[in-house]
Structure 1
Amino acid sequence: MKKTADNCAILKSDSQYTIFIFKDQVIRFATSSKLERYTEVKEWDKGYLVVMAKYKNLNEMEEYIDLIPILQNLYYDVDEFLAPIKEVRIDYAA
């Protein structure tokens, strides 16, 4: 896995999964099988992402990802996990 800044998380997709990586934590969750890739992170707000995404046979569109309920379902301490993250970037090489 590619080294990133201590306060930067990575967002990418693989097949029908979204992948969120921060430090040594890799969180995968189901997404549309039509998702080709995320193209831009427009906003990061303590667990809430606004991103641009490209879907098969559709124009690029704005999407919203709320990580808080996902982290809660995985029994993460949400505040502790999210607090150090200052930036999220897309990196399909990570």
Structure 2
Amino acid sequence: MNTCAILRSQGNYTIFQFNNEVIRFRTSTRLERYIKVVEWDHGYLVVMVKYSSVGEVEEYIDLIPILERLYYDVDQFLKPIREVKIDYSPEI
């Protein structure tokens, strides 16, 4: 069973992918890329990001309200995810 989700950015969007589910949400136009996942805690991410205006900074992403607005069963969706990796590979 897959337990790893993928995080990346594309244009003005952040993309969170787990198995066949792809969740896209708007992000800052100045975000260049995600660099590193510092922490994953059941829907809450601490990540290092690179912005064109300020360089590298620590950011926080709370997926729970996003998933709720999309009518996901939050606990069921997040339960199998044990790790989040950043991956900009084109085949994702």
What TM-score do you get using the length of structure 1 for normalisation? 0.93
More deviation in 53-62 or 82-91? 53-62
Structure 2 partner of 1:49: 45
Structure 2 partner of 1:68: 64
User: What is the CA–CA distance in structure 2 between the aligned matches of 1:83 and 1:74, rounded to whole Å?
Assistant: 17
User: What is the CA–CA distance in structure 1 between the aligned matches of 2:25 and 2:83, rounded to whole Å?
Assistant: 20
Structure 2 partner of 1:29: 25
- AA aligned to 1:55 is Y
Q: Percent identity?
A: 64
Deviation at 1:88, TM superposition (A): 0.1
Structure 1 partner of 2:6: 10
More deviation in 72-81 or 52-61? 52-61
Deviation at 1:92, TM superposition (A): 0.4
Structure 1 partner of 2:83: 87
- AA aligned to 1:76 is Y
Gaps of 5+ in 2: none
Deviation at 1:58, TM superposition (A): 1.6
Runs of 4+ in 1 over 2 A off after TM superposition: none
User: What is the CA–CA distance in structure 2 between the aligned matches of 1:58 and 1:92, rounded to whole Å?
Assistant: 22
User: What is the CA–CA distance in structure 2 between the aligned matches of 1:61 and 1:44, rounded to whole Å?
Assistant: 17
How many residues are aligned here? 90
Pairwise CA RMSD = 0.9
